[in-house]
């Protein structure tokens, strides 16, 4: 027979709250977990900002920039998500990616900082030019950008 697994108060990767038998107000913990999952699943931010927006809508998220003010004080590099009229802050994990609004940019959390993924350039240069291969690679790059896998230039 297997040993019983003992859980901490939250999940190890995304710090989602866990329930315990007999816990009062379980809906609070379940709802918080669902809001966090909703924010992180196909993560999209409005922008990087250091000041909270004046009138944020529920479901909108931002990356908190350097020197944050107001409700975001002390939350640099975290993801601030608006839910039920409150801010929920998510700590990024190494390798996490987010799309930036409609800008076609992707930010990745690497080595403790948010970095923009560089655009992929079409092939150029070289002493032997294969125009068919270049055309095929350029078309592939365009399709990957269109699918949101590569960032737009």
Q: What total number of domains does the chain contain?
A: 2
Provide the residue-wise pLDDT of the chain in tens; the chain has 153 residues: 455 555 567 776 777 777 777 777 777 778 788 888 877 888 889 999 999 999 999 889 999 999 999 999 999 999 999 988 889 999 998 988 898 887 768 899 999 999 987 777 788 888 888 888 888 988 998 888 777 677 776
Residues 86 and 126 in one domain: no
Reading the block at residue 14, the tokens are: 């995304």
Whether 98 contacts 120, CB under 8 Å: no
Residues 69 and 124 in one domain: no
Residues 146 and 100 in one domain: no
Which letter does DSSP use for residue 84 in this model? T
Residues 139 and 84 in one domain: no
Residue range of the domain that includes 97: 43-116
pTM: 0.69
Burial of 15 (C-beta count, 10 Å sphere; 0-12/13-18/19+): middle
Whole-number Å distance between alpha carbons of 84 and 94: 28
Residues 52 and 86 in one domain: yes
Reading the block at residue 59, the tokens are: 């479901």
Residues 63 and 104 in one domain: yes
Give the strand pairing for 61-64 and 105-110.
Answer: unpaired
Within a domain: 130: yes
């Amino acid at each position: 027979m297997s040993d019983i697994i003992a859980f901490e108060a939250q999940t190890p990767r995304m710090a989602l709250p866990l329930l315990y038998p007999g816990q009062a107000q379980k809906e609070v913990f379940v709802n918080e977990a669902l809001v966090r999952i909703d924010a992180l699943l196909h993560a999209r931010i409005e922008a990087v900002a250091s000041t909270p927006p004046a009138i944020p809508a529920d479901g909108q998220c931002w990356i908190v920039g350097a020197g944050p003010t107001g409700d975001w004080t002390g939350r640099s590099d975290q993801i601030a998500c608006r839910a039920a009229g409150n801010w929920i802050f998510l700590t990024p994990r190494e390798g996490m990616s987010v799309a930036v609004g409609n800008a076609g940019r992707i930010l990745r959390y690497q080595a403790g900082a948010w970095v923009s993924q560089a655009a992929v350039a079409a092939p150029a240069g070289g002493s032997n030019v294969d125009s068919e291969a270049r055309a095929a690679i350029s078309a592939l790059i365009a399709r990957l950008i269109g699918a949101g896998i590569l960032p737009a230039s």
